[in-house]
Amino acid sequence: MEWTNDKTLQLIELYRTKECLWNPKSSFYKLLNKKNDAWQGIATEMNCNTIEVKKKINSLLASFRRERQKESTTKTSGSGAGEQYYSTWFAFKSLDFLRDKFTPKSTLNTEEIQERDATVNINRFDEEKKKKEGMVFKFTEKKRHCRRNNNVYRPYKR
């Protein structure tokens, strides 16, 4: 199939409407049947098969990532305002809804987590040690309803 700019923009709009294909926050994002139905719907709307549609979308996404990368490198390079790169690719603005999809998730600082876990473990060890020595008594005995006899209660066990 020959992809003109108009057909490509139409394909992008159809892709945008099928959130299960591109939005990881969608409830249907991980459901393969829903994704296949969405691809099939786009293919029938465009009068071609799903393989061609998927290839074209993958090509567009690669081009979009490349253009985004060019923009971001010129912003951080310290170049002047006149030297900053702005994409002139015809589909760049149409694919702008994907900008959030490609941002990486925040990372965790493992050193802070290890310190926190070590502190919690030390506190647990101290409590267990005090319990064994008989210094701390906590009365947390709860009562639970017995199934066999409605009038008899047992102590709650953890």
The reported pTM is: 0.61
78 φψ region: left (φ > 0), alpha (ψ -120 to 50), beta (else):
left
Q: List the domain boundaries for the chain.
A: 5-98, 110-155
pLDDT digits (tens), the chain, 158 positions: 789 999 999 999 999 999 999 988 889 999 999 999 999 999 999 999 999 999 999 999 999 999 988 888 887 656 566 678 888 899 999 998 888 776 666 776 777 766 666 665 565 666 666 665 554 444 444 444 444 445 555 554 55
DSSP one-letter string for 59-126: HHHHHHHHHHHHHHHHHHTT--GGG------TTTTTTGGGTTTTSPPPPP-HHHHHHHHHHHHHHHHH
